[in-house]
Structure 1
Amino acid sequence: MSELDSNPFAAPASDNPFHDPSVTQVTNSSVETVDQYNPFPGHPTDGLTTPSAPASTAPYQPAVLQPSTEPSPQATAAAAQANLLRQQEELERKAAELDRREQEMQSRGPTGKENNWPPLPRSFPIKPCFYQDFSEEIPPEYQRVCKMIYYLWMFNCVTLFLNLLACLAFFTTNTSYGVDFGLSILWLILFTPCSFLCWYRPVYKAFKTDSSFSFFFFFFVFFCQVVIFIIQSVGIPNWGNSGWITAFTAISVNTAVGAIMIAVAILFTMCAVLSVILLKMVHSMYRRTGASFQKAQQEFSQGVFTNKTFQRATASAASSAAQGAFQGSN
């Protein structure tokens, strides 16, 4: 009956395109319009979408040029002065650094390394005068003997100091022995640096550079040192040595002072014995190095002729002789 009730003269529903279900679904849905569509949505994994920014509706404004301000002459002069001051400070800093490096180079020895002997504190006014390193400069086969000679030098210095105290004690018991006390002071002041420079440093240099001249110089000076050790151990009266003769003389006057001087005499005797042993050891090593007297003469001549002081003296003597000959011919 419903079919009969419909108006046969009405237009069919299918003729109206807006009544189409597909069209009505689109118009009624919440699908984004074209102006709101974002072609770059967020990543699907994070579940976020970035809405598109609405187009700016602000009206177009022309760019406005800011007026340029030139610095005043006073500001330019101040900037230039500040730049000059900064450059001057930089130059002064570099000059101070160069002075410091020059002082460091002057404090170093011929090896280019900073001197480390004697081991003095940095605040001490006197700086080290020598560089010494057994493990670096002395070959391994010579290090033991070289160290023993160094220990002998230190042992000799201690013995000379104890000899001074023994002579002082002897002087307090009998004022007629003041000569021994005075000479003991002289021996301590004289032998301590001279022994280091005259026989320890030459043998150190000989082992370091295999120098024949240094070996010969050491043998000559150290043989004299052995003789001095023997004289000191004997203890000739009024020679400033607490040897055996002086010790037995003092023990009859004062037992305590005599015992001190006997101990010093034993130390002098040990120095003499050790010096003889070390002299033989160095000589045996010297014979294995292939050194000779001719090589020592050659090293000496080369050292003399290459010495700047000798060259200047020779040049001045030659010029003086030439001037004298020229004046004599006139």
Structure 2
Amino acid sequence: MSDFDSNPFADPEISNPFQDPSVTQVTQNAPPGLEEYNPFTDGKPGPAGLAPKPVPSSNTQPAIMKPTEEPPAYAQTQEQGRATAELMRRQDELEKKAAELDRREREMQSLSASGGRKNNWPPLPEKFPVGPCFYHDITVDIPVEFQKTVKIMYYLWMFHTGTLLANMIGCLAWFCVDSSRGVDFGLAMLWFMIFTPCSFVCWYRPLYGAFRGDSSFRFFVFFFVYICQFGVHVLQAIGLTGWGASGWISALTGLNTSVPVGIIMILIAALFTALAVMSIIMFKKVHGLYRTTDASFEKAQQEFATGVMANKTVQTAAANAASTAARSSFKEPI
């Protein structure tokens, strides 16, 4: 135990580590006041022999980093902006529909005051022996959101009519250089005289009435007839010889006979091809608009049944059949 109670630094043989020459040299060369430096004070010296006392400052505040840029305004986020734009778009649509309804109401009132709507299509001279057969005014009958589509279909019908007229001229030129092509010229005239009015009555007028009155039955009539019309356009673009169409096959055949006539027929074949392409594009567009309406196959059946029963001819035939059946039921067998 005595060994543990002894002071090792009291032994004169053991040197004091703080008296080492290297340590004393460093402490002697230290800057003045380093021994009394206290980083937690404001640097004011305290009493002699004591460390400086910290002096509390009444103006000190916590360190707060100020942003270099103002934070973005969160009043209108991106979602709110889209919602606002959507509301504005709907409001514009409602205002347009209200203006359209107001305009159509004024139009109907003016027509009622003048004694009803008068047929204005086809536009014929007043002295012509035959008058117009239909009333055609897209801006009055068709809603605003469908007017552009109906106008395109009307222009497509006009383009179809012009193509049939050009086809008749091309077949006439072919017949002039080749006398054996009289059948093609005759059929070309027949197609022009048949397809021009039939296309207007069978698929354009049903489309016009479908968008005017949201008729499901008229939509289905248009789809059925127009897909058949598209098939006819494809056959005319192919141009089988003897079918009365200046398609690609007929054009190449006519090119061997006469180069100018062949070039005319090639241009007509290009018109038939463009007509077929535009027809399928507009068919898809009309079908897409049909999907957005309330039209359906069930409504088409109901409209067909209602239209048939409302027809005066059908009503007269049904009444005659009913009266005949009633009379025969009262007759007794002999």
Which amino acid counterpart does residue 284 of structure 1 have in structure 2? G
For structure 1, list consecutive stretches of 5 or more residues without a partner in the other structure: 1-107
The aligned residue for residue 38 of structure 2 is none
The aligned residue for residue 168 of structure 2 is 164
1:268-287 alignment runs, 5 A limit: 268-287=272-291
1:43-58 alignment runs, 5 A limit: none
Secondary structure of the residue that 1:242 maps to in structure 2? coil
CA distance in 2: counterparts of 1:166 and 1:242, whole angstroms: 7
1:122 deviation in Å? 1.0
The aligned residue for residue 124 of structure 1 is 128
CA distance in 1: counterparts of 2:156 and 2:288, whole angstroms: 18
The aligned residue for residue 142 of structure 2 is 138
The aligned residue for residue 182 of structure 1 is 186
1:54-73 alignment runs, 5 A limit: none
CA distance in 2: counterparts of 1:187 and 1:328, whole angstroms: 58
The aligned residue for residue 295 of structure 2 is 291
Which amino acid counterpart does residue 229 of structure 2 have in structure 1? Q
TM-score when scaled to structure 2?
0.64
**Bigger Rg over Cα:** 1
CA distance in 1: counterparts of 2:239 and 2:299, whole angstroms: 40
Superimposed CA distance per residue, residues 167-204 of structure 1 (whole angstroms, 9 cap, x where no aligned partner): 11111111111110110011001100000000000000
1:221 to 222, 225, 228: 225
1:121 deviation in Å? 1.3
Which amino acid counterpart does residue 236 of structure 1 have in structure 2? L
The aligned residue for residue 321 of structure 2 is 317
1:158 deviation in Å? 0.7
CA distance in 2: counterparts of 1:169 and 1:157, whole angstroms: 19
1:114 deviation in Å? 0.6
CA distance in 1: counterparts of 2:191 and 2:136, whole angstroms: 25
1:140 deviation in Å? 0.6
* Number of aligned residues: 221
For structure 2, list consecutive stretches of 5 or more residues without a partner in the other structure: 1-111
1:263 to 261, 267, 271: 267
**Larger deviation, residues 211-220 vs 315-324:** 315-324
1:184-203 alignment runs, 5 A limit: 184-203=188-207
1:328 deviation in Å? 5.2
CA distance in 2: counterparts of 1:328 and 1:190, whole angstroms: 54
Q: Residue 244 and residue 325 in structure 1: after superposition, are their counterparts in 2 closer, same or farther (change >3 A)?
A: same
Which amino acid counterpart does residue 266 of structure 1 have in structure 2? A
- Large movers: runs of 4+ above 4 Å: none
Secondary structure of the residue that 1:251 maps to in structure 2? helix
1:123 deviation in Å? 1.3
CA distance in 2: counterparts of 1:134 and 1:284, whole angstroms: 20
1:326 deviation in Å? 3.4
Task: Supply the RMSD in Å over aligned alpha carbons.
Answer: 1.5
CA distance in 2: counterparts of 1:121 and 1:229, whole angstroms: 32
**Larger deviation, residues 308-317 vs 203-212:** 308-317
Q: Residue 302 and residue 172 in structure 1: after superposition, are their counterparts in 2 closer, same or farther (change >3 A)?
A: same
The aligned residue for residue 156 of structure 2 is 152
Which amino acid counterpart does residue 249 of structure 1 have in structure 2? T
CA distance in 1: counterparts of 2:317 and 2:160, whole angstroms: 39
CA distance in 1: counterparts of 2:329 and 2:161, whole angstroms: 55
Which amino acid counterpart does residue 197 of structure 1 have in structure 2? V
Which amino acid counterpart does residue 241 of structure 1 have in structure 2? A
The aligned residue for residue 247 of structure 1 is 251
CA distance in 2: counterparts of 1:300 and 1:184, whole angstroms: 35
Superimposed CA distance per residue, residues 130-152 of structure 1 (whole angstroms, 9 cap, x where no aligned partner): 00111111001000110111111
- Paired-residue identity, %: 54
Query: Would you say 1:303 and 2:300 are equivalent positions?
Result: no
Which amino acid counterpart does residue 213 of structure 1 have in structure 2? F
TM-score when scaled to structure 1?
0.65
1:306 deviation in Å? 1.3
**Larger deviation, residues 184-193 vs 312-321:** 312-321
CA distance in 2: counterparts of 1:220 and 1:112, whole angstroms: 32
Q: Residue 294 and residue 172 in structure 1: after superposition, are their counterparts in 2 closer, same or farther (change >3 A)?
A: same
